[in-house]
Amino acid sequence: MSTIHRLSDLLINQIAAGEVIERPAAALKELLENSVDAGASEINVSVRQGGSRLLRVTDDGAGISREQLPLAVARHATSKIATLDDLEQVASLGFRGEALASIAAVSCFSLTSRQAADSHGWKITGEAGRPAAEPAAHPIGTTVEVRDLYYNTPARRKFLKSDATEYGHCEEAFKRIALSRPDIAFVLQRDNRVPWRLARCQDHPERRIADLLGEEFIAAARQLDERSGSLRLWGLAAQPAYSRGSRDTQYFFVNGRFVRDKLIQHAVRQAYHDILHPQRHPAFVLFLELDPAVVDINVHPTKIEVRFREANGIHRFLFNALNKALAAALSSPPSAPLAAQKPAAAYQETLPLAQRRPPLGTAERVNLYQALFGQVARPPAMAEPAAPAPEIPEIPLLGFAIGQLREIYLLAQNEKGLVVVDMHAAHERIVYEKLKQALDSQPLSAQPLLIPVSFPATAVEVATAVENGAILEKLGFAVAMLSPTHLVVRAIPAILPDADVVTLTREVLREIQAYGASRVLTERRNALLASMACHGSVRAGRRLSLAEANALLREMETVEHAGHCNHGRPTWFQITLAELDRLFLRGQ
Ligand code: ADP
Ligand code: MG
């Protein structure tokens, strides 16, 4: 056994680097944060070979004096806090004083800086304590150069992925900082190209978001800005139609710091829950601002996680704020893709025209109503000029059905023009909302089956059915064991008369088995009802009579969230007469 001895500073820093500087992108993040903390208004980044060959960050911030340069790379040396009180109120991104020391310990490192009062800059190379500063040419501000990261820690070097992958992480670190600071100009150079050049735009923060995430995101996003007490949440949250297959467009900042936090993720997911397919991920750029004293950012060395003192209150606030923004988004339908394809200028031109179109007069409304509803009321053979109906109903929001396309889409006519409805999606949404309402007030009413349906079941399914009779009953099912290998269904929820009995029952048993009876009725409740609605809704391919179609439209109007099905797909589109006119080059 060896004797106990103190580790050298270099080794301590190398060990720490394993934690703080996990990969080149982590070093870049630290350097960018330092430049932001130094009050830079312009930051230039250069990345070579995914950052493992070179990371260089230059800023025009406050700089570091000659005397302080060696301290900057010393471990646990920082200018940002001095006491525990400071830590509780910390407003800077850094405060642990370990980034530069760690980076310097595992790379060929240099730091060059000049303050406004100095006539030239000073430069140090190598790790802490070793070198003296030497004069160097530099404008006001600081350059940190990190060459050959992990050259002396081969074990870590081996974990690096391809240059392209490492660059991808660097770019992500860059985007996070750039999104949070539209008041700073950024340039990112990758090898010999310049993929990002971002102008300052502090008065239009959404400009920066558009630069980085694209106009498509902006077009799909809802702005929100909610306050409650000292809490503020603002930013952009995309409507479900823009949802992603991964979490790559989720940017959440707490007091300007990018974080990835379970509590936040949960609140966001819940807000999107009813309108987003479980396998899709919402896209957002959101900024939470709150008193720094109520959030602990010193939970993790890279500060990516945070801890809130009032976790429940924060959760509630986030959920409510997002829910409100998304609900507002849902009550107005997404515009037809048709309109989106038009060049912006063309759209602008025709817009006033569309607005000038006078609302339908009473006579026109009567005609339209008769043309549409009259046909529903009596067979075409008996159609004859009829006296105007004494009561002239308003044309409903979604208008009246005029036919079906391929038995998938329902076409309707309203005051603005054509309405196209995805029948399955719309019906699913209606059934889902009805299920929710029904379960809120009482157990779902059961519809006994004229002929009970039996089906071969696994041992798990049989056991789940036998042990959970009460909850199944609550959901409107009567399921019993017929034999150890067969179940029989005697009743299903009355709201789902068209459902495939076996598929529906299996699905419900699977949910109960996977999550347990109590969770199925609480946090999993909406997911369960969504999948029940999906199995119990009109499938595309069924022909509806006009009366049925109109009934569907009327139900859609009364149901909350009718603009989207519960998997996040839109349920209907409006195509205006102006848009149709444009297609046919009328009035241009
Ligand atoms: P921390 O950021 O946690 O304080 P760092 O190791 O990242 O620790 O940096 C140590 C110190 O070096 C900082 O507190 C700051 O005073 C100084 N420093 C680092 N980078 C810069 C920079 N780009 N401009 C001005 N000062 C800097
Ligand atoms: Mg730092």
Position 175 pLDDT exceeds 50: yes
Q: What is the pLDDT of residues 195-223, one digit of tens each?
A: 999 999 988 888 999 999 988 888 889 89
Q: Is residue 345 part of a domain?
A: no
Who lines ligand 1 at CB under 6 A? 30, 34-35, 38, 59, 61-64, 72, 78-80, 94-101, 142
Average pLDDT over residues 61-77: 91
Residue 67 sits in the same domain as residue 152: yes
Stronger pLDDT, 428 or 177, i.e. the higher one: 177
Q: What is the pLDDT of residues 296-329, one digit of tens each?
A: 887 777 778 888 988 889 999 999 999 888 887 6
Q: Is residue 393 part of a domain?
A: no
- Among 326, 349, 367, residue at a domain's last position: 326
Q: Is residue 556 part of a domain?
A: no
Position 176 pLDDT exceeds 50: yes
What's the pLDDT band for 404 if we cut at 50, 70, 90? confident
State which of 100, 102, 297 you would mutate to test the pocket of ligand 1, scoring each by most atoms of that ligand within 8 A of its C-beta.
100
Domain extent at residue 522: 445-494+499-535
Q: Which ligand is nearest to the CA of 124?
A: 1
CA-to-CA dists, residue 442 to 36, 64, 435, 527, 536, angstroms: 56, 69, 11, 18, 20
| 99 neighbors 63 (Cβ within 8 angstroms) | no
- Among 171, 198, 225, residue at a domain's last position: 198
pLDDT value of position 541: 60
Residue 150 sits in the same domain as residue 176: yes
Q: Which ligand is nearest to the CA of 95?
A: 1
Residue 165 sits in the same domain as residue 110: yes
pLDDT value of position 107: 93
Report CA(80)–ligand 2 centroid distance (Å).
9
Position 457 pLDDT exceeds 80: yes
CB atoms inside a 10 Å sphere around CB 175? 19
Stronger pLDDT, 342 or 224, i.e. the higher one: 224
Residue 227 sits in the same domain as residue 111: no
Position 75 pLDDT exceeds 80: yes
Position 398 pLDDT exceeds 60: yes
Buried residues in 331-347 as b, exposed as e (16+ CB within 10 A): eebbebeebeeeeeeeb
Q: Is residue 264 part of a domain?
A: yes
How much of the chain, in percent, has pLDDT values that exceed 70?
A: 85
Beta bridge partners of 233: 226, 288
Based on the structure, what is the number of domains in the chain?
3
pLDDT value of position 586: 75
Mean of per-residue pLDDT scores for the chain: 82
Position 513 pLDDT exceeds 60: yes
Stronger pLDDT, 170 or 395, i.e. the higher one: 170
Stronger pLDDT, 587 or 61, i.e. the higher one: 61
Residue 193 sits in the same domain as residue 311: no
Q: Which ligand is nearest to the CA of 90?
A: 1
- 248 by Cβ neighbours in 10 Å (0-12 / 13-18 / 19+) ranks as exposed
pLDDT value of position 380: 35
Residue 173 sits in the same domain as residue 310: no
Stronger pLDDT, 159 or 286, i.e. the higher one: 286
- The kind and range of the H/E element at 518 are helix 517-521
Q: Is residue 85 part of a domain?
A: yes
Position 146 pLDDT exceeds 80: yes
Query: Can you say whether the dihedral through the CA atoms of 510, 514, 516, 522 is positive or negative?
Result: negative
Stronger pLDDT, 462 or 350, i.e. the higher one: 462
Q: Is residue 44 part of a domain?
A: yes
Report CA(151)–ligand 1 centroid distance (Å).
23
Report CA(105)–ligand 2 centroid distance (Å).
15
Residue 38 sits in the same domain as residue 177: yes
| 127 neighbors 104 (Cβ within 8 angstroms) | yes
- Of 372-376, 452-456, 536-540, the range with the lowest mean pLDDT is 372-376
Residue 142 sits in the same domain as residue 64: yes
> 474: domain CATH number?
3.30.1370.100
Residue 47 sits in the same domain as residue 172: yes
Position 540 pLDDT exceeds 80: no
Stronger pLDDT, 130 or 411, i.e. the higher one: 411
Position 377 pLDDT exceeds 80: no
Average pLDDT over residues 338-352: 31
What's the pLDDT band for 472 if we cut at 50, 70, 90? very high
> 275: domain CATH number?
3.30.230.10
What's the pLDDT band for 36 if we cut at 50, 70, 90? very high
Average pLDDT over residues 34-58: 97
pLDDT value of position 87: 78
Residue 119 sits in the same domain as residue 224: no
Instruction: Name the residue at shortest CA distance from atom 10 of ligand 1.
Output: 72
Report CA(160)–ligand 1 centroid distance (Å).
26
**Both structure tokens of 290:** 């709150």
Instruction: Name the residue at shortest CA distance from atom 21 of ligand 1.
Output: 34
Average pLDDT over residues 487-513: 89
Q: What's the one-letter identity of residue 6? A: R
Q: Is residue 481 part of a domain?
A: yes
Q: What is the pLDDT of residues 566-585, one digit of tens each?
A: 666 788 888 999 888 888 87
What's the pLDDT band for 256 if we cut at 50, 70, 90? very high
> 128: domain CATH number?
3.30.565.10
Position 494 pLDDT exceeds 80: yes
Q: Is residue 452 part of a domain?
A: yes
What's the pLDDT band for 64 if we cut at 50, 70, 90? very high
Residue 270 sits in the same domain as residue 317: yes
Residue 284 sits in the same domain as residue 244: yes
- Among 277, 304, 326, residue at a domain's last position: 326
Tallying the residues shown for the chain, one arrives at: 588
Average pLDDT over residues 371-395: 42
